[in-house]
Amino acid sequence: MSVTIKDVEKIAKLAKLKFTEEEKIKLQGEMNEVLGYIDTINQIPGLEDVKPLENINDTENVFREDVSEKCLTKEEALKNAPEKTENFFKVPKVLDK
Partner 1 sequence: MENIFSKYEPVIGLEVHAQLKTKSKAFCSCSTEFNAPPNTNVCPVCLGHPGTLPVLNRNLVEFILRLGTATNCSIRTRSIFARKNYFYPDLPKGYQISQFDQPICEHGKVAIGDKTIGITRIHMEEDAGKSIHDMSTDESLVDLNRCGVPLIEIVSEPDIRDSKEAYDYLTMLKQLVIYLDICDGNMEEGSLRCDANVSVRLKGAEKFGTKCEVKNLNSFRNVADALDYEIKRQIELIEKGGEVTHQTMTFDARNKATIPMRSKEEAHDYRYFPEPDLVTVYVDEKWKQEISSSLPELPHIKTKRFIIEYNLPEYDAEVLTQSRELADYFESVCKLIDKQSYKTASNWVMGEVMRVLNEKKITISGFNISGQNLAALVKLIADGRISNNIAREVYSEMLMTDGPEDTKQDPEKIVKDKNLLLVTDTTEIEEIVKKIIADNPKEAERFRAGETKLLGLFVGKVMKESKGKANPKTVNELITKNLGNN
With beta carbons less than 8 A apart as the criterion, state whether 24 and 5 touch: yes
Least distance in angstroms from the C-beta of 48 to partner 1: 18
Least distance in angstroms from the C-beta of 65 to partner 1: 6
Query: Which residues sit at the interface with partner 1, rule CB under 8 A?
Result: 10, 13-14, 16, 52, 54-57, 59-74, 77-78, 83, 85, 87-97
Tell me how far the alpha carbon of residue 27 is from its chain's centroid: 16
How far apart, in whole angstroms, are the C-alpha atoms of residue 28 and residue 23?
8
Nearer to partner 1, 43 or 87 (CB): 87
Q: What is the DSSP letter of 4?
A: -
Least distance in angstroms from the C-beta of 52 to partner 1: 8
